[in-house]
């Protein structure tokens, strides 16, 4: 299979274009076999079995033969579907010039995945139908901890308020599919807002003189301020990733303010598994590396169209925003000691995590749920870290039963 790499890459004009600034020699290890892969301006010039004595290379990527065999399947099993998933689990290694590797991360990851020969599932343009979505967007000006913020929000539907919190480094567009779902908006008032510094919500005045860092206190007060500004009566809060983390804090400290919380890809803690400093440097494109890092958190079974829409949120993210959000996620939200204090009789807790998520893994969510008496947990098959945007149709199958239970709380 490795011998076909040059042909697969060089026939892919888009991949060659994305690697047009890359000329490098790297070492690929497949079990006990090693190959020098020479790239010139995005094209694979040669693949030579090695290691060749005294031939240098910028970096090496190594895994066992069994690991690569699973990785190259059209739909690998969780843990083998992404290079970083294998590295995190100890099934692969990356060594050498990491700056060179991370600068061109998206190209390298796509190059390595080419042997899968997965067929694109992007929709046909002939299926496109013009229509106006039932979503309305507006701005609010709110005070959060004594500082003014101009926050953009969208909403659709009527009924129980359902406030949706986007992932780190992205924005509320992740929930656009839910807002256009009449089966949901006939029963819920679906609301999604861009956190300050994200999407259409501007940074506060004076932002140019500070480094953005999200904290538990600022995050919680922003959510509560938005709910107060909209005069919401006991909304349901549904957050994903960092949003799935903060809902646990809300349920613990202000259970009387919320009907229930839903944590998508949520847990009480994650041990950091990569250096955040790479996400905001003048010599590495922040959007490119952020999208490349999270690309493997999307299930390989998710449609390509939805996959790339999800990644666009990271490609378009502001400088340093993903890194700043991860300060909350990695350094300021260790809730392992407080989740046991959540009273689900006052604020029910529902946790849903994708089987392909290796950032907040199913084990992380199951561990968290075991500490919260009365919480409910679901592991979502064939979904990853962004269920509402990477495969919205499949996500509904898991979300609807939870919402039906929450509706029963009214009765």
Question: Domain residue spans in the chain?
Answer: 2-116, 136-408
Would you state the pLDDT for residue 188?
A: 98
Strands 59-63 and 92-96: antiparallel
The burial class, CB within 10 Å (0-12 / 13-18 / 19+), for 12 is middle
Identical topology for domains 2-116 and 136-408: no
| Helix (H) or strand (E) run with residue 322 in it | helix 321-326
39-41-45-47 Cα dihedral, nearest 10 degrees: 20
Beta carbons of 244 and 360 less than 8 angstroms apart: yes
Q: Which CATH architecture has domain 136-408?
A: 3-Layer(aba) Sandwich (3.40)
Structure tokens at 378: 């679901």
Would you state the pLDDT for residue 118?
A: 59
The residues of the chain scoring below 50 in pLDDT are: none
Would you state the pLDDT for residue 51?
A: 86
Beta carbons of 387 and 354 less than 8 angstroms apart: yes
Would you state the pLDDT for residue 2?
A: 80
Would you state the pLDDT for residue 124?
A: 60
CATH superfamily assigned to domain 2-116: SCP2 sterol-binding domain (3.30.1050.10)
């Amino acid at each position: 299979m490795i011998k076909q790499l040059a042909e697969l890459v060089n026939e892919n004009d888009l991949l060659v274009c994305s690697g047009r600034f890359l000329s490098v020699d790297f070492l690929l290890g497949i079990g006990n076999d090693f190959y020098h892969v020479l790239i010139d301006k995005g094209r694979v010039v040669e693949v030579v079995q090695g290691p060749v004595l005294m031939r240098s290379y910028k970096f090496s990527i190594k895994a066992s033969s069994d690991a690569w065999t699973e990785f190259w399947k059209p739909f690998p099993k969780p843990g083998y579907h992404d290079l970083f998933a294998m590295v995190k689990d100890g099934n692969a290694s990356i060594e050498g010039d990491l700056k060179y590797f991370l600068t061109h991360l998206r190209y390298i990851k796509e190059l390595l995945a080419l042997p899968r020969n997965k067929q694109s599932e992007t929709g046909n343009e002939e299926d496109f139908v013009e229509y106006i979505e039932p979503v309305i967007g507006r701005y609010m000006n709110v005070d959060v901890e004594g500082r003014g913020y101009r926050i953009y929000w969208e909403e659709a539907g009527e009924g129980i308020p359902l406030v949706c919190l986007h992932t780190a480094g992205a924005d509320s567009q992740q929930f656009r599919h839910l807002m256009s779902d009449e089966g949901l908006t006939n029963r819920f008032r679906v609301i999604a807002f861009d956190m300050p510094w994200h999407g259409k919500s501007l940074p506060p005045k004076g932002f140019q003189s500070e480094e953005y860092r999200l904290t538990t206190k600022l995050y919680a007060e922003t959510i509560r301020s938005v709910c107060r500004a909209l005069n919401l009566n006991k909304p349901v809060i549904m957050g994903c990733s960092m949003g799935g983390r903060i809902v646990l804090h809300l349920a613990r400290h202000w259970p009387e303010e919320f009907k229930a919380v839903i944590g998508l890809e949520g847990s009480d803690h994650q041990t950091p598994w990569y250096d955040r400093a790479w996400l905001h440097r003048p010599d590495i494109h922040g959007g490119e590396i952020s999208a490349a890092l999270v690309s493997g958190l999307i299930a390989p079974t998710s449609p390509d169209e939805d996959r790339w829409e999800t990644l666009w949120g990271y490609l378009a993210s502001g400088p340093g925003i993903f890194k700043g959000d991860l300060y909350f996620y990695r350094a300021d939200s260790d809730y392992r000691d407080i989740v046991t204090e959540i009273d689900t009789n006052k604020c029910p807790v529902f946790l849903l995590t994708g089987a392909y998520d290796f950032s907040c893994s199913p084990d992380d969510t199951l561990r968290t749920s075991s500490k919260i008496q009365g919480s409910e947990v679901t592991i979502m098959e064939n979904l990853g870290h962004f269920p509402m945007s990477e495969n919205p149709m499949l996500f509904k199958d898991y979300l609807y039963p939870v919402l039906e239970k929450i509706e029963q709380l009214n009765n």
